[in-house]
Homo-oligomer: A and B are copies of this chain.
Amino acid sequence: MEKNLKINPPCDDSCPVRASLTLLGGKWTLMILFQINEGIMRYGELKRAVTGISEKMLIQELNMLVENRLVNKKVYPEIPPKVEYTLTDLGLKTLPIVDKLAEFGLDNLVKKVGLNAKHQ
């Protein structure tokens, strides 16, 4: 006798949530994608934007994201070096996830100032 309104199949290797989390579940991954967003970001800009990340983690994540075709990397053969990162089509498809994450945080976690928002 099931009382479940919505029963999901077990979360094994073929579980789409697990698959996404394997790719995107790192501490910094979604925050980096969020910062690049629909724009063009240089390495140095990202370092400043993602407060608190170490250089090692940033390039490590960036390399991983490029490898997994979520991020495009454009290198200008200049001195000093200039590298631009943008989201690929696949990377852009992660933005709805990030948006929901931002929405949830905004509505429930981050203290809002003023803006008498009557719990809507």
Contacts and interface: CB of A to CB of B under 8 A. Distances in A.
Interface in A17-40: 17-21, 23-25, 27, 30-31, 34-35, 37-40
Contact of A19 (B24, B34, B90, B110): B110
A57 interface: no
B8 A101 contact: no
20 contacts: A4-B40, A5-B37, A6-B37, A11-B35, A11-B49, A12-B52, A14-B110, A15-B105, A16-B103, A17-B31, A17-B101, A17-B105, A19-B105, A20-B109, A23-B109, A25-B27, A96-B104, A97-B97, A97-B101, A99-B100
A66 interface: no
A116 to B, nearest CB: 19
A115 interface: no
A7 B39 contact: yes
Given A17-B101, A25-B27, 5 more contacts: A4-B39, A10-B49, A10-B50, A16-B102, A21-B27
A106 interface: yes
Nearest to A106: B16
A17 B98 contact: yes
